[in-house]
């Protein structure tokens, strides 16, 4: 999709040459300077009770008199904030979805457009037009809307253009993450995920290493390998590197859980909705998406992406409840539940991350159903003992409209991981399950700044419109950009 801006006073919108105009109105009145030929039919609709300036209300006008644009969609926003603007845009694009519009002009009335509004426009546009096609040949070949034009005044044109460029890079990363999370497990094996990492590295001048089972064994990742041993699909350990700063500058390391299908292993999951377990590599997908966005934006920072990828399957060779495995760190783990497998991958990847002498490490994982119960589907769970890192990630989530919420890491929660037969158990009591999962990971992060994002509630949505969301690519990209100085 092509994104651009056009400088035009709001009094001249009726002459805009596009297939459709999307007007987002913030506030409870139309600005006096708004184009009279557009405000007249809107005010008439309000007088007749067909439209109100209340958040969520919409109005469609077809070929309004004296206006060049054949289609006008009007949507009311709760306020002029980027978040409210994005919410209103989603409503407006839904109105235009099944029309013949290919080029859409967008204007905010009652507020000033900045870079964040422009970025929100890109995100809303791509979300509204995304169609999964990889295994669905009946899906439309192309999105109906091909071009979006943000209308701004001269004063705000430069920041709008910067926001569109940043938004498009992040949007490309979000789309990549969505695409791979949506692919069925037979079209997204660990090997195929590694192939995508290689292709991404080739397209965007990244460095990539892919370790096969033999190389993983040589490294000593006994915990990671234990999860993969019940699957016919071989595991892959993927390392991507973006270098935008001097080699001496410590990198940010992103670690993404890459379970390309999770049956639960011997502790098998219920059959209902098990198809959604193809999304259990959402953390890995977000690392790929973030690396793509960062490579396009080229900030002066170094980033390493680590993806331990495998399947968790029941088999005669599978990991069994009660088995004890030895992690790369040398610590032993009693596996009480084979469906708590993500942390067994991540702990070895977190130990491996130490060799990069990182400035900070953030792991991203669809880790626990407990986090979904705690936070629902709006905010990702954030766990860190580092106050500065917590603030940076929270701010990045707010800036990218991809919010997270900080959860506790009190030492008392660690008691639940005690084992009579190993250094630790892989699960604690049911209560506070997302916290004890984070406490488990924390045991492998003693020598660097670390944060954990549990995205079990935000990486995908269920129901009739189920699919990957591409989160938290926006949060992670904004965090990386904030570290570039």
Helix intervals (H) in 130-183: 157-182
Listed as own residue / partner, the contacts of 430-435 with beta carbons closer than 8 Å and 24 or more positions apart are 430/370, 432/370, 433/368, 433/369, 433/370, 434/367, 434/368, 434/370, 434/371, 434/374, 434/381, 434/383, 434/407, 435/370, 435/383, 435/407, 435/408, 435/409
- Which domains does the chain carry? 2-174 (3.40.220.10), 183-482 (3.40.630.10)
Nearest CA-CA partner of 163 in 154, 171, 175 = 171
What is the chain's pLDDT, residue by residue, as a tens digit (485 residues)?
899 889 988 888 888 999 999 999 999 999 888 999 999 999 999 999 999 999 999 999 999 998 999 999 999 999 999 999 999 999 999 999 889 999 999 999 999 999 999 999 999 999 999 999 999 999 887 778 999 999 999 888 999 999 999 999 999 999 999 999 999 999 999 999 999 999 999 999 999 999 999 999 999 999 999 999 999 999 999 999 999 999 999 999 999 999 999 999 999 999 998 999 999 999 999 999 999 999 999 999 999 999 999 999 999 999 999 999 999 999 999 999 999 999 999 999 999 999 999 999 999 999 999 999 999 999 999 999 999 999 999 999 999 999 999 999 999 999 999 999 999 999 999 999 999 999 999 999 988 999 999 999 999 998 888 999 999 999 999 999 999 97
Token output for 93 = 């694009």
CB burial string 205-230: b at 16+ within 10 A, e below:
ebebebbebeebeebbbbbbbbbbbb
- The answer to whether the beta carbons of residues 215 and 240 sit under 8 Å apart is no
In the prediction, which pLDDT does 132 show?
A: 94
Q: Are strands 302-312 and 332-334 parallel, antiparallel or unpaired?
A: unpaired
161-173 burial string, b = 16+ CB within 10 Å, else e? bebbbbbbbbbbb
pTM listed for this prediction: 0.96
- Rounded to 5°, the CA angle 161-163-164 comes to 65
DSSP type of residue 400: T
Could you give the residue numbers annotated as active site? 269, 343
How far CA 41 is from CA of 17, 61, 64, 73, 110, in Å, comes to 19, 8, 7, 12, 18
d(CA 470, CA 452): 17
* Strand pairing category for 2-7 and 147-152: parallel
DSSP-derived letter for residue 331 is: -
Which residues does 226 contact at the CB level (< 8 Å), separation at least 6?
319, 323, 325, 335, 344
pLDDT for the residue numbered 446? 85
Pairing, β 71-77 against β 103-109: unpaired
What lies within 8 Å, CB to CB, of 476 at 6+ separation is 254, 286, 287, 290, 362, 364, 396
Residues in the chain: 485
**Residue 141, pLDDT score:** 75
Cα 250 vs. chain centroid, distance in angstroms?
Answer: 24
CA–CA–CA angle 452, 237, 315 (5° rounding): 95
Q: What integer pLDDT is reported at residue 182 of this predicted model?
A: 98
């Amino acid at each position: 999709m092509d994104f651009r801006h056009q400088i035009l006073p709001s009094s001249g919108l009726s002459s805009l040459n596009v297939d459709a105009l999307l007007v987002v109105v913030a506030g409870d009145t139309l600005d006096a300077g708004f184009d009279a030929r557009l405000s007249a039919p809107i005010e008439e609709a309000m007088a007749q009770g067909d439209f109100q300036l209340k958040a969520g209300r919409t109005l469609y006008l077809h070929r309004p008199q004296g206006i060049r644009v054949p289609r006008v969609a009007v949507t009311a926003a709760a306020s002029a904030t980027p978040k409210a603007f994005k919410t209103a845009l989603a409503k407006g694009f839904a109105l235009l979805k099944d029309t013949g519009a290919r080029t859409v002009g967008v204007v905010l009335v009652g507020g000033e457009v900045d870079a964040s509004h422009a970025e929100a426009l890109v995100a809303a546009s791509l979300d509204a037009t995304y169609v999964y096609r990889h295994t669905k040949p009946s899906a439309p070949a192309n999105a109906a809307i091909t071009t979006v034009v943000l209308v701004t005044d001269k004063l705000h044109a430069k920041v709008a253009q910067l926001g569109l460029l940043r938004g498009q890079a992040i949007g490309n990363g979000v789309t990549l993450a969505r695409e791979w999370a949506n692919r069925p497990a037979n079209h997204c094996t660990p090997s195929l995920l590694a192939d995508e990492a290689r292709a991404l590295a080739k397209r965007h001048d990244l460095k990539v290493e892919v370790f096969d089972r033999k190389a993983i064994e040589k490294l000593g990742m006994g915990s990671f390998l234990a999860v993969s041993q019940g699957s016919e699909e071989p595991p892959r350990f993927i390392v991507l590197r973006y270098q935008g700063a001097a080699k001496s500058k410590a990198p940010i390391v992103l670690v993404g859980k890459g379970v390309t299908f999770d049956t639960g292993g011997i502790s098998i999951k219920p059959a209902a909705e098990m198809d959604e377990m193809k999304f259990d590599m959402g953390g890995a997908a977000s690392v790929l998406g973030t690396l793509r966005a960062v490579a396009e934006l080229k900030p002066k920072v170094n980033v390493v992406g680590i993806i331990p990828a495998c399947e968790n399957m029941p088999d005669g060779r599978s990991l069994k409840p009660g088995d004890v495995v030895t992690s790369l760190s040398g610590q032993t783990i009693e596996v009480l539940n084979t469906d708590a497998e993500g942390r067994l991958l991540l702990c070895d990847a977190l130990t491996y991350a130490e060799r990069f002498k990182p400035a900070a490490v953030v792991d991203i994982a669809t880790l626990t159903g407990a986090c979904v119960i705690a936070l629902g589907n709006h905010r990702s769970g954030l766990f860190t003992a580092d106050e500065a890192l917590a603030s940076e990630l929270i701010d990045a989530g707010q800036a990218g409209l991809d919010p997270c919420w900080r959860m506790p890491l009190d030492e008392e929660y660690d008691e639940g991981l005690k084992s009579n037969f190993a250094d630790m158990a892989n699960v604690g009591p049911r209560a506070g399950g997302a916290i004890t999962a984070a406490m488990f990971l924390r045991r492998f992060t003693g020598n660097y700044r670390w944060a954990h994002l549990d995205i079990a509630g935000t990486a995908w949505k269920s129901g009739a419109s189920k699919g990957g969301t591409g989160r938290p690519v926006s949060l992670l990209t904004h965090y990386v950009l904030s570290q570039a100085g």
